[in-house]
Amino acid sequence: MRVGVLGGGQLARMLALEGIPLGHRFTVLEGAPDPPAGVASTVVAAAYDDPDGLAAVAAAADVVTYEFENVPAGSAAYLAARLPALPPPGALQVAQDRLAEKRMFCELGIPTAPFHPVDGPEDVDEAVAVTGLPAVIKTRRLGYDGKGQVVARSRGEVEAAVERLGAGLIAESFVAFDKELSVLAAAGREGGRAFYPLTENHHREGILRVSYAPAPGLTPSLQSEAERLAGLVLDRLDYVGVLAIELFEVGGRLLANEMAPRVHNSGHWTLDGADASQFENHIRAVTGMPLATPRVPGPAAMVNIIGELPDPGAVAAIPGAHLHLYDKAPRPGRKIGHINVTGPDEATVMRTVARVWELLPGAGELPRATGW
Amino acid sequence: MRVGVLGGGQLARMLALEGIPLGHRFTVLEGAPDPPAGVASTVVAAAYDDPDGLAAVAAAADVVTYEFENVPAGSAAYLAARLPALPPPGALQVAQDRLAEKRMFCELGIPTAPFHPVDGPEDVDEAVAVTGLPAVIKTRRLGYDGKGQVVARSRGEVEAAVERLGAGLIAESFVAFDKELSVLAAAGREGGRAFYPLTENHHREGILRVSYAPAPGLTPSLQSEAERLAGLVLDRLDYVGVLAIELFEVGGRLLANEMAPRVHNSGHWTLDGADASQFENHIRAVTGMPLATPRVPGPAAMVNIIGELPDPGAVAAIPGAHLHLYDKAPRPGRKIGHINVTGPDEATVMRTVARVWELLPGAGELPRATGW
């Protein structure tokens, strides 16, 4: 099948690398020069809302998908009118707006932290009454990697954040979580479902640094609760493809934080740690192939390469370390690759992660798995 | 690094797919239209001995390698004079000539079946005296997938075979082997070595059908003997890259049959059955990265797709089956893809192979692993 992808970054690159062996061919729409996906796809060089670009992708593809949720609504509508555009545009719409997302979670009975919309100083009192303090003030749209959000510890800080971030905000209770987890779920065109084991994630400055999977200490009941919650979202959105939901674990309970209607950084470990990756399952889903029920034979971890490249040879010399570079120019705070770690047991994986971490320029202290 | 590959078939395709995550980019030289590697590389469309084509590859690459051993000597020499061309041209030369190959094995003390060169009817008596009957008569050059060889059961059949195949032949004793095995070895530019567990191979009509790995019943002593023999060849040829040696096991003893100075069909299982594939290790080797010591966490198998495509959806629906298509037009006897099988234990893998086999049009009886 001919698969079109809006966006030509690392997610599109890995979708293509994993989809090519299934017999598919890829065309990406990407305005930035020399995009990461270019090595494994045909590039239509245009903006995501360029009519000629969209027409070219529609003509070159049998199905179209996305590597990011902030697809312009008009582009999604244009494509969906011409060919299967998956996940469905409705899922993108919800995921583009943190408020719509949180309201959907609520309606589905999926626990979240208390939240309240904020459109200006006049909403601060009511919001703080709902969220308490500290509160997290976020833009409803276009935030990523910690951008567009502020933790406010006092009413004054809330007001300052609202002043700074403008209208179209959401205030949420600050969650003193025990762990950050994520669940990756997939839904096929013909209705099949697949789930990966919960992943434990460690962020710093709002950017994912390290993931461990299956999440240390994961119990079957927590896994099935996560799958149940994810299943509710898949149902509600008539979803097709891979969906990630970021969760907080608080006192053994799961709270939904946010979702991504696409393959997700916290699932990159599946390239080496599962017998079918999130990228393969996303492509299986959108092309109408049966999903793979992933087998995860042992523990795995993922370490993001952010800002600066470690010596690739030194990484390659570490047994169990798997290098995945994106062909992106290094720049502070930019994700330019990741290193997956696999091994026969948790202790070995943890030791290997520590060796990998040593090679990352200026990485600071290693966020260790809780319990490995 | 920029990697050039002579040949744009499925081996180059898989080299590129596995080398791109390491940060490399690929250019292939291939005269056939729409080559399998084209989805993941820049294609220089020219014959393997086309001066402009060779110059274009040399200009586009920092290192060049091969997906087949029958590289024209002039092409290898041209490239080696301009950039690192690995494995070294000397290894290609030996591998291009079954007689030179067998003589090298002999000189290194690597057991082979008795053999004798045959250049015409006048050599038949002496050859048969050496090989006995039945004998296998092979062209010294350009044979593959059973082409250019005949099993002769009588002196008359030997004469007929020599008549038919012409000059430049080799006669070998027919080996009543217990098993066909292969060993995959890798040598790095800086001297490192890596070995995969022996693989059990099943051919039909001279074409590999199924591989099982690690070879059922493999003992540490047989593995280390195979590694010792392969190491002798790597040393002798100042080898860099992946090398495959096909072996016969006869009464617990290994005989070398032939070698391939490249990634090899019997190593395709490593894409899903090892934590670093033969393709990754070949690219690591020729680009000067440290080799990965492959970890093989469980049993694996590889089933070739020959001539006709099974329903990809039906294959994808089988847990533990991993589809690898080559984007080649189906044609009788042509390898157009393979399916790797992994699983938690040998019995599960064997059952999965049997399910996969059922989907192959006209595949005949399944060659089962000895002992799974």
- Give the pLDDT confidence score for residue B142 in this predicted structure: 81
Whole-angstrom Cα distance, residue A136 to residue B208?
61
> Token pair for residue B204?
């039909």
Chain B nearest-CA distance from A101, in A, is 32
* Percent of chain A with pLDDT strictly greater than 90: 94
pLDDT band at A190; cut points 50, 70, 90: confident
Residues in chain A with CB shorter than 8 Å from the CB of B293 are 319
> Token pair for residue B37?
């590697």
Which residue among B275, B290, B312 sits closest to A320, beta carbon to beta carbon? B275
Contact B138, B258 (CB under 8 A): no
Which residue among B272, B290, B327 sits closest to A23, beta carbon to beta carbon? B327
- Give the pLDDT confidence score for residue B166 in this predicted structure: 85
Contact A97, A321 (CB under 8 A): no
In this predicted structure, the answer to whether residue A144 has a pLDDT above a threshold of 80 is: no
Task: Please name which of A55, A25, A21 lies closest in space to residue A280, comparing C-alpha atoms.
Answer: A21
Q: Count interface pairs A-B at CB distance under 8 A.
A: 97
In this predicted structure, the answer to whether residue A287 has a pLDDT above a threshold of 90 is: yes
In this predicted structure, the answer to whether residue A173 has a pLDDT above a threshold of 90 is: yes
Whole-angstrom Cα distance, residue B214 to residue B200?
7
**Beta strands in chain A, from DSSP E residues, in sequence order:** 2-6, 25-29, 42-44, 63-66, 115-118, 135-139, 149-152, 169-173, 179-187, 193-195, 199-204, 207-213, 241-250, 253-260, 300-306, 321-325, 335-342
CB contact under 8 A, B40 and A21: no
Please give the residue that has the higher pLDDT: either B42 or A143: B42
CB contact under 8 A, A275 and B322: yes
Which residue among B20, B275, B325 sits closest to A39, beta carbon to beta carbon? B20
Task: Please name which of B49, B26, B96 lies closest in space to residue B287, comparing C-alpha atoms.
Answer: B26
- A117-124 long-range contacts, CB within 8 A, separation 24+: A117/A169, A117/A170, A117/A171, A118/A162, A118/A169, A118/A170, A118/A171, A119/A167, A119/A168, A119/A169, A120/A162, A120/A167, A121/A159, A121/A162, A121/A163, A123/A162, A124/A155, A124/A158, A124/A159, A124/A162
In this predicted structure, the answer to whether residue A143 has a pLDDT above a threshold of 80 is: no
CB contact under 8 A, B25 and A39: yes
B281-319 pLDDT, tens per residue? Answer: 999 999 999 999 999 999 999 999 999 999 999 999 999
pLDDT band at A147; cut points 50, 70, 90: confident
Chain B nearest-CA distance from A261, in A, is 23
Strand arrangement of the beta sheet that strand A135-139 belongs to: A115-118, A169-173, A135-139, A149-152
- Taking 70 as the pLDDT cut, the residues of chain B under it are 143-146
B103-148 pLDDT, tens per residue? Answer: 999 999 999 999 999 999 999 999 999 999 999 999 999 866 667 7
A299-334 pLDDT, tens per residue? Answer: 999 999 999 999 999 999 999 999 999 999 999 999
